[in-house]
Amino acid sequence: MATEFALRHAIHCIHRCGVIVYPTETVYGIGCDPLCEDAVERIFNIKGRAASKGLILIASHLEQLDEFIDVPDKKDRASLIAEAEPTSWVVPARSNTPAWITGGRDTVAVRITSHPDVAYLCDRLGHSLVSTSANLSGHKPASSALQLHRYFDGLVDSILISEHPMTDQSSKIRELKSRKLLR
């Protein structure tokens, strides 16, 4: 796990609409408070990513996603947390979910994390985080501290490094209703 100081600093940055880089169970992610439009815009600019692609929201508990998702069915909700390997689900978005998260669609991609650093951040913040791979558009996600610093030094407010193992593979993305594999 990242140090307590580093985790607290990341939380402080998020509270101030900052952008952080952090480890997940798959690859390093870049994220922020999903309700801070300025921080989300910074992520798109840093990555060189089109806002129309939308973003994934990552949380430690399903309830942290409830303000963004419209998934009332208990069986569907259970599916969001039952997958053994890291899976992001494309689900119906609530009508008030910001377009800067959905890319203007009526769906949003979400994932429940098992990574202790991200879970700690979400639990202490009490909400989900934006999560997109820590890379520049068209480049492979950073897989080391050195790569993270090469990509993001001076561009983000906090970089968390963790020794917790990652897969170095982006999460699967599935559509909830059809269970169709999208990535």
Residues 130-177 pLDDT 10s: 999 999 988 988 878 888 999 999 999 999 997 776 766 777 889 998
* Distance from C-alpha of 160 to C-alpha of 102, rounded to nearest angstrom: 26
Is 151 inside any structural domain?
yes
> Quick check: is 15 in a domain?
yes
- Using left for φ > 0, alpha for ψ between -120 and 50, and beta otherwise, residue 93 falls in beta
Identity of residue 21: V
| Tally of domains within the chain | 1
Task: Give the residue numbers spanning the domain of 163.
Answer: 4-175
Domain assignment present for residue 81? The answer is yes
Question: Cα(142)–Cα(107) distance, rounded to whole angstroms?
Answer: 27
* Residue 180 in domain: no
Taking only the tens place, the pLDDT of each residue in 15-26 is: 999 999 999 988
Claim: this prediction has a pTM higher than 0.95: no
154 vs 21: CA distance, rounded Å: 12
Residue 128 and residue 59 in contact, taking contact as beta carbons nearer than 8 Å: yes
